[in-house]
Amino acid sequence: MPELGDPSAALAAVDLIRAKRDGRTLTAAEVRWLIAAYVRGEVADEQMAAMAMAIYFRGLEPPELRAWTAAMIASGERLDLSAVGRPTVDKHSTGGVGDKVSLILAPLVAACGAAVPQLSGHGLGHTGGTLDKLEAIPGWRAALSPEEMITALRRVGCVICAAGAGLAPADRKLYALRDVTGTVESIPLIASSIMSKKIAEGTSALVLDVKVGSGAFLPDLEQARRLAQTMVMLGEEQGVRTSALLTAMNTPLGRAAGNALEVEESVAVLRGQGPADLVEVTLALAAEMLRLAGIDADPAAALAGGRALERYRAMIAAQGGDPDAPLPHAAVSAVVTAPQTGWLRRLDARAVGVAAWRLGAGRARKEDPVSAAAGVLCLAKPGDQVEAGQPVLELRTDTGSLLTGARAALAGAIEIGGEPPPPAPLVIERISSGTGPS
């Protein structure tokens, strides 16, 4: 391959695009060159967009994917968390509706003796971003230097912040490109994107929460399983103890979807008052994180005893936030009522997520502002009995004109029948290195 800065780089990129388009397996050297040249600007965005589309259709063989992920990690720095003084373990969710687990989980696992260095992002589309939720808290800031992050981990045991510009810069460029070229859904590109950032973060162990269902990024169980297996393989091969839980996302998790609303619900869980489904998923992930970290502790006891709430308050304060400050409140509210009497059998997660997005809680582009106060409250969940005309959802927004679009998104989202829905597990499956792809 040409040296970086060589004018022949653009032609060499075309050769690799053709090779992948035609089904040839790229060598590790070719992959390393391509990623490095792209970060340096020697390979143009339109060329990498063509490569992403070729990968979307052709996939990446395991050796190619290993090389691709390693090259993305090598494009930037890798944090050293050895000074933290505790076992480090993180969690990553593929995103869902009402998925505020991180806000509870990080302080909960820290209260059990681990250090949780959680690098998170902003939301896009119908799934909410962890940073958007926390930015509803007055004074809280997402941007921390590596030194500030390590200090917070040593003092508090947990931190939730944005990834610095030095971590996997190749992923930052490629992610933005995939978002506008219809190549987001490629499993190899999803897996390498997630794992390059998490491995560069420097954690020793990682639990993946791969959502499955209508509100998930990948609604199909088999696709979600393949993604989980692929990410577990990548983590283990890079020396990070990794496992995954497949969890249900046909119905919103908890009762709140929206930034400040989800913060309120997270604090309620930390006070022992939260919804059972959210508590169940959080405790399952906490137990898995502690297992990988080699810590023998009972997360349910840490939650019930108030230790997790103490860590949460300390985490918020360490990042400039006021845990006692009032959260933003929406100016306008409206309800969606049950069309008939019976059992609520279905409340579609994607529809609720899109409604929250249209109310102002989400963004269509990364540059869009979000409303801290907007969102949807689920006043009833599947399995509840409802009367005709009873409020099932409460819509909150700062702008009344947005209610029309939100209501349109909810058309067909509520299903009521003569008997309750069959029980379905929240934690569907656990995937470890023994169940990964060959």
Catalytic residues: 92, 171, 178, 193, 197
- What's the rounded Cα separation, in Å, for the pair 157 and 241? 19
- What's the rounded Cα separation, in Å, for the pair 223 and 199? 23
Other CB atoms within 10 Å distance of the CB of residue 272: 13
262: CB partners within 8 A, 6+ apart: 98, 100, 103, 128, 133, 254, 256, 375
Residue 232 token pair: 């577990």
Residues making up the chain, counted from first to last: 438
On the 0-12 / 13-18 / 19+ scale of CB atoms within 10 A, 23 is exposed
What are the b/e assignments for 187-215, b being 16+ CB within 10 Å? bbbbbbbbbbbbbbbbbbbbbbbbbbbbb
Strand ranges across the sheet with 385-386: 385-386, 342-347, 414-417
For residue 120, which amino acid is it? S
Residue for token digits 């968390």?
81
Count H helices, E strands: the chain?
A: 16, 13
